[in-house]
Amino acid sequence: MAKQPMLKFTTVSRDMPEKRMPNLRREDFKEIYAEYADEKAQEQSSRCSQCGVPYCQTHCPLHNNIPDWLRLTAEGRLKEAYEISQATNTFPEICGRICPQDRLCEGNCVIEQSGHGTVTIGSVEKYITDTAWENGWVQAIKPKTERAESVGIIGAGPGGLAAADVLRRAGVQVTIYDRYDRAGGLLTYGIPGFKLEKDVVMRRNDQLAEGGANFELNCDVGVDISFADIRAKHDAVIIATGVYKTRDIQAPGVGGVGLERAIDFLTISNRKSFGDAVEEFDSGRFNAQGKKVVVIGGGDTAMDCVRTSIRQGATSVKCLYRRDRANMPGSQREVQNAEEEGVVFEWLSAPKGFVGDPVTGVMVQKMRLGAPDVSGRQAPEVIEGADYVEEADLVIMALGFEPEDLPKLWNTPELPVNRWGTIKADYITGATDLDGVYAVGDIVRGASLVVWAIKDGRDCAQAILEKMGASVAIAAE
Ligand SMILES: Cc1cc2nc3c(=O)[nH]c(=O)nc-3n(C[C@H](O)[C@H](O)[C@H](O)COP(=O)(O)OP(=O)(O)OC[C@H]3O[C@@H](n4cnc5c(N)ncnc54)[C@H](O)[C@@H]3O)c2cc1C
Ligand code: SF4
């Protein structure tokens, strides 16, 4: 009888890929986790309990067939594992690196809930597709027939790129417009290299370009070309522009030198990592080297800013957040990584104002958590008389993002948006009330996750193909 390769969670303990030492991590922007060795990936996959109703799969936005690719990995059948993995996910190696697995697949793993520690689903997903790239199993995009219809996609982030991938595989002509000079959206210019190295994103951009997608970069829709012109050129248009308007603080001292927006700080840092000449960095304005840095916010963007500051050589990095650790929106795993690298978190601390121009400090007011509000979340309240000044010579605001006013910017008042400014679109197909206009990703959901943008892009492309009468099966190949 064949040996049972699975259900080893009682005898094999959870083991993440090796993490680089914090003192080495602080020196560069390389990813912090190593790749699994083959035997380790097999061993860790063998811990899966092969549930009849896999909650990990239910809680993965893409409904990835996780138990099947774990079993195939445990059996050493990696090529088949890759084929199953890529059937539901356009960028498995990217999700494996940056999904907040603790809130999605791994957080719902049954063996985690029984106290044995989750299967390391994300790390195995990354390993499978990185191995596929190394072995040449990742197929070029080669449609069997070319179709006459064309789709214009505004935004080359994960939502737009996932849609483009599905459409090109079905032979549809695709043009992707983006105002940046490189494709990838926040994968390229938002998320730092220590979470997602840039060649991982660039090889996906190359794959699409080699597969016949046409990229119109440095093209700001609403400035370099009108939305109306794009609609006129294509049979359908997908808006995948993400959300980029920064939430600001209203407080004394705002507007002074040394107070910067997180998205600018991260974009400039990523540009430097590409080797670009970036005047705003070279002038010292967006360079944390030798500075006391204070980052305001408790989400993933704030975590990326504190860890970027450390790598740039800040003398100290503090993160102010108005709630406590248990109630922060960012990933606990990222907080731990940041602490290991030397970041200090000041919980229950909110900015009241800023001292000096250029800035020399942040006026901090201490908070406590009060009664739950209507959402059930405990609202922070000020503790009177506990204010103090935190020294700083670079303050980075990471308070979240909102959509830009697209109907106004694009002179398209008929574009349907809701009261938050996100586009009103069908949650499955992405269709809006405007004929042939679709929307996906953050511009529909508000600031969300890469995996949701990928799901939206894939679903929207399928809906467009169905409307064209194209074979959806071809797209899935
Ligand atoms: C700092 C940071 C860290 C994050 N970390 C994570 C993480 O670890 N894990 C995770 O799952 N999610 C993370 N996210 C969220 C994730 O990046 C987004 O949810 C995801 O990228 C949204 O994809 P999208 O395709 O909708 O938009 P985006 O990735 O924002 O791409 C939109 C694209 O549209 C282009 N564009 C916008 N307007 C125009 C215009 N007028 N003309 C032409 N082009 C235009 C932009 O240049 C951009 O390239 C993070 C976000 C930030 C800001
Ligand atoms: S895509 Fe994200 S949520 Fe789904 S299995 Fe992969 S890491 Fe988990």
Q: What is the DSSP track for 412-443?
A: -TTS-B-TTSPBP--TTT-B-SSTTEEE-THH
**Is 196 a pocket residue for ligand 2 (Cβ < 6 Å)?**
no
Which atom from ligand 1 is nearest to the alpha carbon of 441? 26
Residue type for position 475: A
What percent helix, strand, coil does the chain show, rounded to 5? 40, 15, 45
Distance 185 CA to ligand 1 centre (A): 5
The reply to whether 22-134 and 246-400 are identical in fold is no
Distance 64 CA to ligand 2 centre (A): 7
| Two tokens, residue 390 | 């935190």
Shortest-distance ligand to the CA of residue 55: 2
**Torsion on CA atoms 217, 223, 227, 228, rounded to nearest 10:** -120
**Is 64 a pocket residue for ligand 2 (Cβ < 6 Å)?**
yes
Strand order across the beta sheet in which 437-439 lies: 214-216, 173-177, 150-154, 236-239, 437-439
Nearest C-alpha neighbor of 204 from the set 146, 151, 165, 163: 165
Q: Identify the residue whose tokens are 């409904």.
A: 63
> In sequence order, what DSSP letters do the residues of 375-411 get, joined into one string?
TSPEEEEE-TT--EEEE-SEEEE---EE---HHHHTT
Pair 182, 189: CB distance under 8 Å:
yes
Model pLDDT, residue 3: 66
How many Å apart are CA 307 and CA 300, to the nearest integer?
11
How many Å apart are CA 304 and CA 348, to the nearest integer?
20
Ligand 1 pocket, CB under 6 A:
98-99, 154-160, 177-180, 185-186, 190-191, 195, 220-222, 240-242, 266, 300-301, 304, 441-442, 448-451, 453
Model pLDDT, residue 447: 95
Q: Identify the residue whose tokens are 């606990």.
A: 332
> In sequence order, what DSSP letters do the residues of 20-67 get, joined into one string?
PPHHHHTT--S-SBPPPPHHHHHHHHTT----SS-HHHHHSTT---HH
Nearest C-alpha neighbor of 259 from the set 300, 290, 291: 291
Question: What predicted TM-score, i.e. pTM, was given to this entire model?
Answer: 0.96
How many Å apart are CA 322 and CA 434, to the nearest integer?
41
Which atom from ligand 2 is nearest to the alpha carbon of 99? 2
Distance 347 CA to ligand 2 centre (A): 30
| Two tokens, residue 454 | 């990928």
Domain boundaries, the chain: 22-134, 150-243+403-468, 246-400
Distance 187 CA to ligand 1 centre (A): 7
Model pLDDT, residue 477: 47
Give nearest CA residue, ligand 1 atom 38: 241
Best mutation site among 32, 60, 241 for ligand 1 pocket (most ligand atoms within 8 Å of CB):
241
What count of other Cβ atoms lies within 10 Å of the Cβ of residue 355? 16
Helix (H, G, I), strand (E, B) or coil at 285: coil
CA angle in degrees (0–180, nearest 5) for 222-162-80:
170
Task: Give burial (CB, 10 Å; 0-12/13-18/19+) of 35.
Answer: middle
Distance 191 CA to ligand 1 centre (A): 9
Model pLDDT, residue 253: 92
CATH class (in words) of the domain with range 150-243+403-468: alpha beta
Residue type for position 29: F
pLDDT in tens, the chain (477 residues): 456 688 899 888 898 999 999 999 999 999 999 988 889 999 999 999 999 999 999 999 999 999 999 999 999 999 999 999 999 999 999 999 999 999 999 999 999 888 899 999 999 999 999 999 999 999 899 999 999 999 999 999 999 999 999 999 999 999 999 999 999 999 999 999 999 999 999 999 999 999 999 999 999 999 999 999 999 999 999 999 999 999 989 899 999 999 999 999 999 999 999 999 999 999 999 999 999 999 999 999 999 999 999 999 999 999 999 999 998 888 888 999 999 999 999 999 999 999 999 999 999 999 999 988 887 888 899 999 999 999 999 999 999 999 999 999 999 999 999 999 999 999 999 999 999 999 999 999 999 999 999 999 999 999 999 999 986 654 444
Number of continuous H segments (helices) and E segments (strands) in the chain: 20, 16
Shortest-distance ligand to the CA of residue 216: 1
Which atom from ligand 1 is nearest to the alpha carbon of 95? 11
CA-to-CA separations, 62 to 172, 203, 412, 419, 459, in angstroms, rounded: 23, 22, 32, 28, 10
Residue type for position 233: K
Best mutation site among 55, 60, 450, 454 for ligand 2 pocket (most ligand atoms within 8 Å of CB):
60
Shortest-distance ligand to the CA of residue 430: 1
Size of the chain in residues: 477
The CATH classification number of 22-134 equals 1.10.1060.10
**Is 123 a pocket residue for ligand 2 (Cβ < 6 Å)?**
no
SS3 sequence, 84-100? Answer: HHHHHCCCHHHHHHHCC
Residue type for position 155: G
Model pLDDT, residue 114: 85
Best mutation site among 90, 448, 451, 458 for ligand 2 pocket (most ligand atoms within 8 Å of CB):
451
The CATH classification number of 246-400 equals 3.50.50.60
